[in-house]
């Protein structure tokens, strides 16, 4: 660190605000590099798992390990939290994935400013899900932005940015860790220069801004009317959260016709143990009598642009006996799936245990 940096002053007070793993990685890097905060603000402990065990946030775990005081509150507007922050008389607040927009009364507390680490190349992908949005859009690169905070949502002036390539099979999980490490390194490199006046903040081009939303589990429901490429990006973007799924209406094999298994021939179906017969064509299905609705998670897949003339969502086997689903454009080869309440398995394992799904429709 350069001589004269304000971080070398033992009286310099830094407050850190963040909650999830992204913030944990940044906090730990700051501590290791000697930028240890006087306190940490994070969300309250939450019940996790089937046993609903009260669990501290990743940021709190790091803070406790290094004996750093922890402030927790459901709302950043809480008057008690504000009083605690005021009493610190901090010089700088660093924010990373805190999950709430800081009000003016908090932004005005530090002597210098509030600095945020955001997981996108602003002004693109402002908001809470920038990593997922970048993958969904098919971006070839993303990055991190170090910015001064104002009352808007990721609208402050930019101090620095760093880019990261998005590999073809990259998921939100893999990019998340890379961006957190990149964000920490960029922050540690930027702060001393900014404090010495060597960096001039740049205003964002608001006309180029795009926004992301808070994701819910329902966002993970697959629309098979979309192209295979879009759905494949969705699966990668929503790994691990919120995950992607489809609803499966299982019609028993005895009610399916050989045409339902196109492009696989009857002889090949028999090879893998599917007892389909041509006379099945004349059998009828009673209303809801022979249907079961199940949720299936799609964990990994690859897209094929080859056109097939099947209804969107139709489950079939390729000529190589791979499990596939027809899409609005092209089809998706499923590689890893998980039935509700079951463990993750490969598609080949899935076929062996669930031959009845071939020829059915995913909704």
* Paired strand residues for 41: 17, 71
pLDDT, residue 1, reads: 38
Record the tokens describing residue 121, joined without a space: 């190349």
Helix residue ranges, H only, 53-107: 58-65, 79-88, 104-107
- Determine contact, residues 187/148, Cβ cutoff 8 Å: no
- Determine contact, residues 135/170, Cβ cutoff 8 Å: yes
What does the pLDDT average to over 67-96?
A: 96
254 or 321: whose pLDDT is higher?
321
pLDDT of 107 higher than 80:
yes
Q: How far apart are CA 96 and CA 191, in angstroms?
A: 14
pLDDT, residue 201, reads: 98
59: pLDDT confidence band, cut at 50, 70 and 90?
very high
What are the structural domains of the chain?
6-208 (3.40.50.170), 217-362 (3.10.25.10)
pLDDT, residue 349, reads: 92
pTM value?
0.87
323: pLDDT confidence band, cut at 50, 70 and 90?
very high
Residues of the chain above pLDDT 90, percent? 73
- The three-state secondary structure class of 347 is helix
DSSP conformational letter for 318: -
Q: Which residue has the tokens 């004996």?
A: 67
pLDDT of 275 higher than 70:
no
pLDDT, residue 263, reads: 52
Helix residue ranges, H only, the chain: 21-32, 58-65, 79-88, 104-107, 130-136, 172-195, 228-237, 266-271, 347-353
Beta strands 331-339 and 345-346 are: antiparallel
pLDDT, residue 253, reads: 52
pLDDT, residue 8, reads: 52
* Paired strand residues for 250: 292
What does the pLDDT average to over 114-139?
A: 98
- Determine contact, residues 90/114, Cβ cutoff 8 Å: no
Is the torsion defined by CA of 44, 45, 49, 51 positive or negative? negative
Q: How far apart are CA 24 and CA 64, in angstroms?
A: 12
Q: How far apart are CA 316 and CA 249, in angstroms?
A: 14
Of 47-56, 158-167, 309-318, least confident by mean pLDDT is 309-318
Record the tokens describing residue 205, joined without a space: 């081009």
pLDDT of 231 higher than 70:
yes
DSSP conformational letter for 206: G
259: pLDDT confidence band, cut at 50, 70 and 90?
low
What does the pLDDT average to over 247-260?
A: 59
- Determine contact, residues 70/42, Cβ cutoff 8 Å: yes
What does the pLDDT average to over 212-217?
A: 96
Of 9-18, 159-168, 169-178, 243-252, least confident by mean pLDDT is 243-252
Beta strands 361-362 and 53-55 are: unpaired
Average pLDDT of the chain to the nearest whole number: 88
7: pLDDT confidence band, cut at 50, 70 and 90?
low
What does the pLDDT average to over 104-113?
A: 96
268 or 205: whose pLDDT is higher?
205
pLDDT, residue 49, reads: 84
């Amino acid at each position: 660190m350069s001589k004269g940096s304000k971080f070398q002053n033992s009286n310099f007070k830094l407050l850190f605000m963040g909650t999830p793993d992204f913030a944990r990685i940044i906090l730990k890097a700051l501590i290791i590099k000697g930028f240890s905060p006087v306190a940490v603000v994070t969300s309250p402990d939450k019940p996790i798992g089937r046993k609903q065990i009260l669990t501290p946030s990743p940021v709190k775990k790091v803070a406790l390990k290094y004996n750093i005081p922890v402030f927790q509150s459901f709302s950043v507007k809480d008057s008690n939290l504000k009083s605690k922050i005021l009493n610190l008389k901090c010089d700088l607040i660093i924010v990373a994935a805190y999950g709430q927009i800081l009000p003016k009364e908090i932004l005005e507390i530090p002597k210098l400013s509030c600095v945020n680490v955001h997981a996108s190349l602003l002004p693109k992908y402002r908001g809470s899900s920038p990593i997922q949005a970048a993958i969904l859009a098919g971006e070839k690169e993303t990055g991190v932005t170090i910015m001064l905070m104002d009352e808007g949502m990721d609208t402050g002036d930019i101090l620095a940015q760093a880019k990261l390539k998005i590999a073809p099979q990259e998921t939100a999980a893999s990019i998340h860790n890379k961006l957190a490490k990149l964000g920490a390194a960029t922050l540690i490199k930027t702060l001393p220069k900014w404090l010495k006046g060597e960096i001039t903040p740049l205003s964002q081009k608001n006309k180029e801004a795009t926004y992301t939303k808070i994701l819910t589990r329902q966002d993970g429901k697959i629309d098979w009317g979309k192209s295979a490429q879009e759905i494949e990006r969705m699966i990668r973007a929503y790994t691990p959260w919120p995950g992607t799924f489809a609803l499966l209406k299982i019609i028993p094999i005895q009610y399916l016709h050989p045409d339902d298994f196109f492009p696989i021939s009857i002889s090949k179906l028999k090879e893998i143990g599917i007892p389909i017969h041509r006379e099945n064509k004349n059998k009828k299905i009673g209303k809801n009598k022979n249907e079961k609705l199940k949720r299936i998670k799609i964990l990994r897949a690859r897209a094929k642009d080859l056109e097939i003339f099947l209804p969107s969502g139709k489950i079939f086997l390729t000529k190589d006996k791979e499990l596939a689903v027809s899409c609005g454009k092209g089809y998706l080869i499923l590689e890893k799936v998980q039935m509700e309440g079951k463990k993750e398995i490969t598609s080949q394992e899935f076929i062996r245990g669930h031959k009845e799904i071939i020829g059915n429709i995913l909704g």
